[in-house]
Structure 1
Amino acid sequence: MPKPWFGPRRAVRQRPVFPCSLYAGLMRRVAVVVLEGAKPLDVGIPAQVFTARASMPYTVDVCGVHPGLITGGDGLSYHVEHGLEALETADLVFVPGYREPDRERPPQALTRALLTAHERGARLAAISTGAFALAETGLLDGRRATTHWHYSQALAERYPEVHVDERVLFVDEGSVLTSAGAASGIDLCLHILRKEAGMAVANHAARRLVAAPYRSGGQAQFVPQGVPESHGERFTVTRDWALLHLGEPLGIAQLAAHARVSSRTFSRRFRDETGYAPMQWIMRARVDRARELLEETDLGIDEIASTVGLGTATNLRRYFRRVLGTTPSDYRKTFSRAGESPVVA
């Protein structure tokens, strides 16, 4: 695949899992780039999730390649105040989906601006067909990416060095992230919030949006094709029940019994539905609950481990290291909100 015409890429600085600018109390800047034919939901999701308010350590600028009127999709147009100069100071850049990305390549000015922002250390995130604009930079070469299932083949054909995975809701490759159709953009935004601002901020945003607080990126997209019927949210009730009983012994037998299916059937269909094996999902849920308790309470590590069903502080430390690459104590130092005023909308 031809590389971008404006020259070779330079090595970029990778962001740490817990950017110090956040826990130092500094605001982070988000830019949402609106292209011709932009899809309304794709634009609105990051703008609303990261909108400036007391509970969010972010500011948002909606911009275009040039300021002014932009014709969008679905009968809507956008009047944006900013051009691509908004990317010059952004910490996080979103490229929402747009109509017919397989017909024309994105503007070269946008490609240059995205590369410059990335080289400066900004994280780039594409929603749905925004992946085409991100792939044009070459930053997805050799990496996994996803997009709306309807365009996954076109993305793979135009950018053969990109490992396109149409089966997932979103893909996090560190400094570049992609998501599937519009609703999965919410999952991607909440995933970014969990990594950057912690569980409490992400869960508060999910409640504000009336959205599921956690869906793994590995959960399957719905793809209409000649395959056995998707079981989608069949085990939602069982997952909700498990979240209320994390402190109790939970095994596949108990989960399957609650779902009223055999253990074998439960294991197979649960993985199809969530992207995780049942006990892997339970472990991740326990770690996430421990993260909330570390952020919002002054409970000791042993007590938290017992409360979430991990038994001992040693187990909690092991799983924290495996999942997050840090320790419970260091996580608490970074994100603890105990003693602060409650988060408000």
Structure 2
Amino acid sequence: MFKQYVGWKFVLAAMALIIIATTIWFVSNLSQKIQQEERKKVATWVEANRELLQASSEANLNLAIEIVTTNTTIPLILTDELGNIIDSRNLDSAKIAQHKGYLKAQLDIYKKQHPPFIMEVDARQKVYNYIYYGDSLILKQIRYYPYIQLIVVTLFIGVVLFALSSANRATQNMVWVGLTKETAHQLGTPLSSMEAWMELLKENEANTPIVTELGKDIDRLKLITDRFSKIGSVPKLEERNIVEQIESMTSYIRKRASQKVHLTVHSPEQEIPAMISPPLFDWVVENLLKNALDAMEGKGDIDLYIENHPAHIIIDVSDTGKGIPKSNFEKVFKPGFSTKKRGWGLGLSLAKRIIEDYHKGRLTVKSSELNKGSTFRIWLRK
């Protein structure tokens, strides 16, 4: 599913690039042709005005008049040799009336856009006028079209990717919930049976040591079942002393770790209250500690640093293990990603979901260096 989702992202991006590149090429060619046609129209308009100025009263000026009057799209400004504005065509009359500098500003723009046409007004006195013109509204719209299309295509791809991401996330959530609920259900039956057998063993006092150890394992299985049953439902957050909670889990792991591994909890205070779901939070800490043990291969130091801030609590879990490449900082939280020969690669993914979805906090790789160790950071709101 994830690979297909990534593949679709590249396909959509490639399609968007092809569409945009093709559109820009086509619009560029089209705008150049329209620009050439508009220059020809302005040249014809200038020639028609020249005919009107130089023609005798008996001449047939119908064609020239028609050419002059039919230009209603291309904006024009007529100036004398000194640059004084004499007349204008096809500009916003309201803006001309409201703003005195509007025509001058437009003239400066037209001078940069196109070279002017020179029209001879009086051949004897050598009087000339200059006609400056700008791009028509249609040409401007065509030029802006690729950018509008780029925005539309980007929005479309964004919506599609968001929909795919939401669908992918929803599918993953369904798988997680289904898997955990089914696991909790499957564990329930043998647990009931084990409790019944333990009651029979209690009848014989000689079985007391066995009953004690078996009871511990049953309690542990009950805790695991309780954790799985809470995935997919909104857990009840309780105010707990986070230092005591972490000390308890660290003590549990310490008894089961190698004697060459040293686990230490560092906290400036003995009591730091936090709203957590105890079974799920313990699961996260246990997962981080077990990953640290696996990374150190039976020897080294694991340090847990607890920082109490006014609005949040920070818990850093540091080890002296193999470390994680920087390129894998985000990948380690992806379902199925694992550097171990055994395992499904679900532990850190579930831990991140528990912290971020249920506790509204953050779980990240704070730092890591190959062959020197890693530090995972839990950020919790007060």
Smaller-chain TM-score bracket: under 0.3
Return the TM-score normalized by structure 1: 0.21
Return the structure number with greater helix share: 2
Structure with the greater alpha carbon radius of gyration: 2
Return the TM-score normalized by structure 2: 0.20
